[in-house]
Structure 1
Amino acid sequence: MTAPRFRLIATERREWPFRLRLPFRFGVITVTHGRQAVVTARIRLEDGREAEGIAAETLAAKWFDKDPRWTDAQNEDQLRRALEIASDATLAAGTNTAFGHFAESWAPCEATGAAEGLNPLVVAYGRALLDRAILDALLRAHDMSFFAGMQANIGGLRPHAVCADLGDFDFDRMLDKTEPATTIQARHTVGLVDPITIADQAERVGDGLPEALEEVAGIYGHWYWKLKVGGNVEADVDRLCRIAAVLDIGPRYHATLDGNEQYEDAEGAAELWRAMEREPRLDRLRASILFIEQPVKRAKALSVPMTALATSRPVIVDESDGPMDAFVTARGMGYSGVSTKACKGIWRSLINHARCRAWNAEAGDYRHFMSAEDLTTLPGTCVQQDLALVALMGITHVERNGHHFIAGFEGRPEAEAERFALAHPDLYGVTRHGPRLRIRNGALEIGSLDTPGLGATVMPDLDAMQPMPRSEWRAP
């Protein structure tokens, strides 16, 4: 189809607080509570019709910008400012396609962010939410699901200077040939302070939901696991041994290691792997490792070769994926993959998906790939949009952690949770704790995401949210 052109005529930004049932430690922060940003976008098509779409994502501190100078509140304000920058640029941009709005505004948004002390990953957050809300509105206007709309290239994805390395790539063909999955494996995250066994817990939450890793393994039946490491080889190996003692009891499993930038350099990360090789208790766990995610701090990650570690297992970039050509740079340093996260942008993910296809076709192998990672995506709009993107690209497993660290729709009106559960009975199960993600044999059923809009037709209760305050972020 010819990609529809439209203009953005209004946006509204809201947020609401949530709390975690269990503390979640990743990288340099232990999270006990948070806030979710919710963005609505109203568009006007060239034929005069109007439509509204929505997107939601956690305002995550100490992930987009881990500079210790900034408080968590300042990190949140950075992300609010990124939303303001994206909205202002698109409201002033006139008429374009969905991809055109993103592509034409990326460089100006990145430049504005840089002038205000915001790194490209922070800037990407603002564009990501706005672009999702815009695309959701466009799909609703045409009564099309995300899958049908993208197969028809409703957004107008095409070669552009924003992805100059793909100048002759056939995006229409790539999208037309997609076969979205209806089932996807949930890769469970084991955070750095998560209890491994019940005996590890001095106190329990006692809400009837699984807490320790041994309970999670028994109840959800996961085949895939994501294991956080903390940057200290001795401590990491000891903890991995305790994890292996639980996972090795069950059937065959797969795992990934997530460094969250905790190792100073590539050699430090390689030493972790060598220490794992020397430990016989880790033989089965080590054999299960599919890839290692962003082990090195982003300041160094793309400036020195990753060869020492990459010869043992594929290594992917996550936090380093800030500039639009970050994956291109990473490839030259020995990385094989890059993460997709809806918080970094749908168009970014599809561009990187195209890069994998182009590079693999050129080499005649499947070395380059995308992994699907989480940012505490909460039930409802947020998790459904992320799952829809992962399904479109045919990725077979996705990190899921929000369902474990947060009790279902905690913090949202009961009626809202019930509406989502009714519309998506395959994805949510109704429990005595309210609707929660339904995970059976480690898998999520997502066939119901094939609905008008970007993975969800149901709208959350916007009146039960607070207006997002203006950002108080100021350039350092």
Structure 2
Amino acid sequence: MTNPTRRDFLGTAAFASMLGSNGFSGGAVASAVVPRPTDIGIEDVSYGYEDYRYRTPIKFGGTVVDRATILNVTCVVKTRDGRIAKGFGSMPMGNVWSFPSKVLTYDATLAAMKDLAERIGKITAAYDGTAHPIDVNRDLDPEYLKAAAETTRALGLAEPIPKLCTLTVASAFDAAIHDAFGKVHGRSCYQTYGPDFMANDLSAYLGPDFRGEYASRYVTEHPKPRMPMYHLVGAVDAITDADVKTRIGDGLPETLPEWIARDGLTNIKIKLNGEDLDWDVDRVLSVERAAAEAQARRGVTEWVYSLDFNEKAPNVGYLMEFIRLAKEKTPDGFRRIQYIEQPTARDLHASPSHAMDEASRVLPVVADESLTDVESLILARDRGYTGAALKACKGQSHALLLAAAAQKFGMFLCVQDLTCPGASLIHSAGLSAHIPTVRAIEANARQYMPEANRAWEKRFPGLFIVKDGTMETGLLTGPGLGAV
């Protein structure tokens, strides 16, 4: 495939179609496509919340977070021939990540997301078409964005709800629809993305270069048997005993060497500051020293890192100086780095073309917060990003389209976490396990929200109890998303 520019992509009729063109009068209407007997309509939607305190706090983009609210959605669907199934979707609200604000409080952004969830629930329940889940999502996406604007106005918010936040709220609803679709047909969701189930090929969403291709080309029907798991070293996490001020004493590890010994870790994600170059370099050195000692005790010689600046690096110059110093001070540690995630601000329009080229020639540089649709993926490539982070919290439908486009473009792919516990972890792990080029799973709720995973450990021990640094993704073979 040629390398399309953002202008090329915006010029396609398919892009206009992807943005959605259907009206909404009492209920969104399904896309004008040849119907499939497998299509589903939505019969009922309900939702609720769970609240958890973190075992230990996490720092996101300069903000320390100590709690999470999980949105759980149930959706009942019905096929054209009258068969009914119930689907379940779950996702952390992640308001500090999806709706960062310097003027709105944590409680204010969370309240806005809950108001939006109520609106999205009503919109989804009112959908009166029958279609494949990806087409349902395409029809509803514009209405969800309108609902976000309505919430902003109704609550008098000082800042508008970002698109990323809207995707995060909608993701649990989208997941429930995909889950129900798989269940009503007695199949894993990942076996329902081909021409037997989809009325549209990918050209309807991604342009003519995808003509004749379906999402099934870019996902596998069966999951990888096992995958390495990325463990998080947060910016306020203790690395060694010297960093521990007061022991939690709950029986779980409290330092990196303890986690390595217990779970056999070989993949470690390091959160960096982005505002203090010396601190960032020293953080990598400290992790490398602690990991090297712990791995030596296990007789392990190969392990890897990823680095996450959470968009706090001020510019590419900062990143390049970090790379130079890290390479100079810890050659072995630098060699272990697989990729760098979202080093600078998420607003791609504010950075010039090819801004990230210099860094991307050294390591894959992955866009995360910047990616809200395929247009933003095209823009990220123009800015020099060579990788894309997929996230269940941006929606199953969106993740599948981004995965297809990124693979077509030859981009590095990873699946990132939003401290997902329970069903949301199963959803995220399923994405990782079914996208061929994804190498590992990120799963840190076991560190910060272990209580939210307790009920799932007996049902999916190979996934929720980590051994040898891997998760048993081969067990994700149930119908739908495979969680419930």
TM-score by length of 2: 0.83
- 2:182 paired with 1:149: no
Question: After TM superposition, where is structure 1 displaced by more than 6 Å over at least 4 residues in a row?
Answer: none
Distance 1:153 1:287 in 2: 45
Among 234, 244, 247, which residue is 2:288 paired with?
Answer: 244
Q: How far 1:350 sits from its partner (Å)?
A: 1.3
- 2:426 paired with 1:384: yes
Distance 1:375 1:40 in 2: 20
Distance 1:172 1:263 in 2: 35
> What does residue 440 of structure 1 align with?
467
> What does residue 343 of structure 2 align with?
295
Deviation sequence 1:54-79 (CA, Å, 0-9, x none): 11111213101212111111222233
Report the secondary structure of 1:73's partner residue: helix
Give the partner amino acid of 1:74.
A
Distance 2:465 2:304 in 1: 20
> What does residue 412 of structure 2 align with?
369
Distance 1:221 1:449 in 2: 22
> What does residue 234 of structure 1 align with?
278
Among 63, 86, 98, which residue is 1:64 paired with?
Answer: 98
> What does residue 464 of structure 1 align with?
none
TM-score by length of 1: 0.84
> What does residue 128 of structure 2 align with?
94
Among 403, 410, 421, which residue is 1:353 paired with?
Answer: 403
Distance 1:404 1:153 in 2: 41
Alpha carbons of 1:330 and 1:300: their partners in 2 closer, same or farther (altered >3 Å)? closer
Among 307, 322, 329, which residue is 1:272 paired with?
Answer: 322
Report the secondary structure of 1:215's partner residue: helix
Deviation sequence 1:236-277 (CA, Å, 0-9, x none): 112221111112232211111001011122222222212223
- 2:148 paired with 1:113: yes
Give the partner amino acid of 2:63.
I
Residues 56, 381 of structure 1: 8 Å contact kept: yes
> What does residue 53 of structure 1 align with?
87
Alpha carbons of 1:351 and 1:158: their partners in 2 closer, same or farther (altered >3 Å)? same
Q: How far 1:421 sits from its partner (Å)?
A: 4.0
Among 459, 463, 466, which residue is 1:423 paired with?
Answer: 459
Q: How far 1:3 sits from its partner (Å)?
A: 6.5
> What does residue 285 of structure 1 align with?
333
Report the secondary structure of 2:468's partner residue: coil
Give the partner amino acid of 1:286.
F
Residues 185, 442 of structure 1: 8 Å contact kept: yes
> What does residue 379 of structure 2 align with?
329
Give the partner amino acid of 2:161.
L
> What does residue 8 of structure 2 align with?
none
Give the partner amino acid of 1:104.
D
For residues 133-144 of structure 1, what are the structure 2 equivalents within 5 Å?
133-144=176-187
Give the partner amino acid of 2:168.
Y
Distance 2:219 2:269 in 1: 32
> What does residue 84 of structure 1 align with?
118
Alpha carbons of 1:266 and 1:78: their partners in 2 closer, same or farther (altered >3 Å)? farther
For residues 253-264 of structure 1, what are the structure 2 equivalents within 5 Å?
253-264=303-314
Report the secondary structure of 2:237's partner residue: coil
> What does residue 356 of structure 2 align with?
306
Alpha carbons of 1:62 and 1:425: their partners in 2 closer, same or farther (altered >3 Å)? closer
Report the secondary structure of 1:186's partner residue: strand
- 2:476 paired with 1:455: no
Distance 2:181 2:323 in 1: 47
Distance 1:152 1:447 in 2: 25
Alpha carbons of 1:156 and 1:27: their partners in 2 closer, same or farther (altered >3 Å)? farther
Alpha carbons of 1:156 and 1:120: their partners in 2 closer, same or farther (altered >3 Å)? farther
For residues 206-221 of structure 1, what are the structure 2 equivalents within 5 Å?
206-221=249-264
Residues 248, 285 of structure 1: 8 Å contact kept: no
Among 199, 218, 241, which residue is 2:242 paired with?
Answer: 199
Distance 1:425 1:236 in 2: 36
Residues 54, 449 of structure 2: 8 Å contact kept: yes
Q: How far 1:112 sits from its partner (Å)?
A: 4.2
> What does residue 34 of structure 1 align with?
68
Residues 60, 96 of structure 2: 8 Å contact kept: no
Alpha carbons of 1:44 and 1:300: their partners in 2 closer, same or farther (altered >3 Å)? closer
Give the partner amino acid of 1:352.
L
Distance 2:375 2:98 in 1: 17
Distance 1:166 1:128 in 2: 27
Moved more, 172-181 or 88-97: 172-181
Residues 203, 211 of structure 2: 8 Å contact kept: no
Give the partner amino acid of 1:443.
T
Give the partner amino acid of 2:254.
E
Give the partner amino acid of 2:57.
P
Residues 188, 226 of structure 1: 8 Å contact kept: yes
Q: How far 1:286 sits from its partner (Å)?
A: 0.7
Distance 1:270 1:165 in 2: 37
Distance 1:173 1:22 in 2: 40
Distance 1:295 1:46 in 2: 47
Moved more, 185-194 or 270-279: 270-279
Residues 374, 402 of structure 2: 8 Å contact kept: no
Report the secondary structure of 1:296's partner residue: coil
Residues 39, 197 of structure 2: 8 Å contact kept: no
Deviation sequence 1:425-465 (CA, Å, 0-9, x none): 433xxxxxxxxx211110011222201221223xxxxxxxx
Q: How far 1:167 sits from its partner (Å)?
A: 4.6
Q: How far 1:203 sits from its partner (Å)?
A: 0.7
